[in-house]
């Protein structure tokens, strides 16, 4: 592997990434593609938390899984520490994966029920060449300490079903952390948990992120948690990132009509809510097999410009420095 100057370059760069899944009819003939991610570019510096927000089927999980190297991209490139993923050989790919952690949505489903925490946490180390028993043990204790499953001795021999939901999610985070990754992808890490535990887990993730200057890709459909737990936010709609901005900037000025709709749809606990109707566009997200021509939001958009939005796909405009929107209103 070549060494490059890693000081100023972003940890991760994604260039015009497309991830299409083939649809087949009668096994052999092609019936088209599900365009799950369709032209996404961004770069992620070390230590930054990036939130991907979108509805189900908007491609946020696929994007994360492609970055994790679980899918081979249809086109475009993922560049991690200056190396393109597509050029990595088998062994380098393994090294790459050890730099990544993955926190799944459903902690109980993500932990093998027949393994004790000790085995679950040892496994990634065996695969990635941490063979020394005392080193393994030291790291397990360290990581359990970090996710506050303490005293470690009480937990080390427990099985997943003996833990509460919050503890299970801590165990999943511990597993993601045990190889000391540089990037963690957290896919709806708290959506299966109760409200009172959610904040606890998100805070834990945040603290770990800051202590280890980790980059985090935080996937969620819950825009209201984002403001507390990330620096930048991407709004995804129908396989595209329609708006990218620093969190505070997005909450102050939202440019894309879809973002506006999303923000309008989210209630804060307030008795006034019951007295008024919410101003949200009707309809559903489009099919990703045959997405609408032009801007994908135009059939639902209250501000669509006829003859433009339904014909030409909008490029990225930058109405504020560092704040971009794929919308013709800002050309």
Partner 1 sequence: MAEKLLQIRDLYLYFRTMRGVVKAVDGVNLDMNRDDALAVIGESGCGKTSLIRAILRLLPRNVHTYKGSVVLLDTDIMKLSEERFRTNVRWRRMSMVAQAAMNALNPVIRVGDQVCEPLVVHQGLSKRDALAQAAEVFHLVGVPTDFLNRYAFELSGGMRQRAILAMALVTRPDLVVLDEPTSALDMLTQANIMNVLKGIKKDLQQSFIFITHDVATTSEISDRGVVMYAGQIVEISSAEQFYLNPFHPYSQKLMASVPTLKVKKELEFIPGQPPSLLNPPVGCRFAERCHRRFDMCDQEPPMFTLEDGRQVKCWLYK
Structure token digits, residue 272: 């006034």
Encode 34-61: b = buried (16+ Cβ within 10 Å), e = exposed. bbbbbbbebebebebbbbbbbeebbbbb
**109 counts as binding partner 1 under rule CB under 8 A:** no
d(CA 79, CA 148): 33
**224 counts as binding partner 1 under rule CB under 8 A:** yes
**262 counts as binding partner 1 under rule CB under 8 A:** yes
Please report how close the Cβ of residue 206 comes to partner 1 at its closest, in angstroms: 11
The DSSP bridge pattern shows strands 49-54 and 215-220 to be parallel
The DSSP bridge pattern shows strands 317-320 and 323-325 to be antiparallel
Residue 97: name the closest of 112, 115, 109, 85 by CA: 85
Judged by CB under 8 A, the residue of 18, 46, 94, 221 near partner 1 is: 221
CB of 79 or CB of 204, closer to partner 1: 204
**34 counts as binding partner 1 under rule CB under 8 A:** no
Please report how close the Cβ of residue 236 comes to partner 1 at its closest, in angstroms: 12
**162 counts as binding partner 1 under rule CB under 8 A:** no
- Give the HSE-up count for residue 223: Cα atoms under 13 Å, Cβ half-sphere: 22
**161 counts as binding partner 1 under rule CB under 8 A:** no
**231 counts as binding partner 1 under rule CB under 8 A:** no
Please report how close the Cβ of residue 134 comes to partner 1 at its closest, in angstroms: 33
Please report how close the Cβ of residue 53 comes to partner 1 at its closest, in angstroms: 9
Please report how close the Cβ of residue 91 comes to partner 1 at its closest, in angstroms: 41
Question: Which three-class secondary structure state does DSSP give residue 68?
Answer: coil
Please report how close the Cβ of residue 302 comes to partner 1 at its closest, in angstroms: 13
Q: Of the ranges 5-13, 25-33, 36-44, 223-231, which one interacts with partner 1 (CB under 8 A)?
A: 223-231
**253 counts as binding partner 1 under rule CB under 8 A:** no
Please report how close the Cβ of residue 69 comes to partner 1 at its closest, in angstroms: 28
Q: Are 52 and 64 in contact (CB under 8 A)?
A: yes
Q: Of the ranges 13-21, 60-68, 101-109, 163-171, which one interacts with partner 1 (CB under 8 A)?
A: 163-171
- For 256-263, the CB contacts below 8 A with 24+ separation are 256/297, 256/325, 256/326, 256/327, 257/297, 257/301, 257/302, 257/303, 257/327, 257/329, 258/297, 258/301, 259/235, 259/325, 261/300, 262/53, 262/223, 262/235, 263/223
Judged by CB under 8 A, the residue of 126, 266, 289, 311 near partner 1 is: 266
d(CA 187, CA 101): 11
Judged by CB under 8 A, the residue of 280, 290, 303, 318 near partner 1 is: 280
The residues binding partner 1 (CB under 8 A) are 55-56, 164-166, 194-200, 203, 221-225, 227-228, 251, 261-271, 273-274, 277-278, 280-282, 284-285
């Amino acid at each position: 592997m070549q060494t490059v100057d890693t000081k100023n370059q972003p940890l991760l760069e994604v260039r015009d990434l497309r991830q299409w899944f083939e649809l087949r009819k009668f096994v052999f003939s092609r019936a088209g593609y599900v365009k799950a991610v369709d032209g996404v570019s961004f770069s992620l510096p070390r230590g930054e938390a990036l939130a991907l927000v979108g509805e189900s089927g908007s491609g946020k999980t696929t994007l994360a899984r492609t970055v994790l190297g679980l899918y081979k991209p249809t086109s475009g490139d993922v560049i991690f520490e200056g190396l393109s993923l597509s050029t990595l050989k088998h062994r380098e790919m393994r090294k790459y994966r050890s730099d990544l952690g993955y926190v799944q949505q459903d902690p109980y489903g993500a932990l093998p029920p027949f393994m004790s925490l000790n085995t679950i946490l040892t496994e990634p180390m065996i695969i990635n060449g941490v063979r020394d028993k005392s080193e393994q043990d030291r790291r397990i204790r360290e990581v359990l300490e970090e996710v506050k499953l303490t005293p470690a001795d009480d937990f080390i021999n427990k099985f997943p079903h003996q833990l509460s939901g919050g503890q299970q999610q801590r165990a999943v985070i511990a597993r993601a952390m045990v190889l000391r990754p540089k990037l963690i992808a957290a896919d709806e890490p708290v959506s299966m948990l109760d409200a009172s535990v959610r904040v606890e887990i998100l805070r834990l993730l945040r603290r770990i992120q800051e202590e280890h200057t980790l980059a985090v890709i935080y996937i969620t459909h819950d825009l209201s948690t984002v403001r507390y737990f990330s620096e930048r936010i991407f709004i995804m709609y129908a396989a595209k990132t329609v708006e990218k901005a620093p969190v505070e900037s997005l909450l102050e000025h939202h440019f894309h009509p879809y973002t506006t709709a999303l923000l309008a749809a989210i209630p804060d606990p307030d008795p006034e809510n019951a007295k008024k109707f919410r101003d949200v566009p009707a309809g559903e997200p489009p099919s990703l097999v045959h997405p609408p021509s032009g801007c994908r939001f135009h059939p639902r958009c209250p501000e669509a410009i006829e003859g433009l939005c339904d014909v030409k796909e909008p490029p990225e405009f930058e109405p504020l420095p560092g704040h971009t929107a794929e919308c013709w209103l800002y050309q």
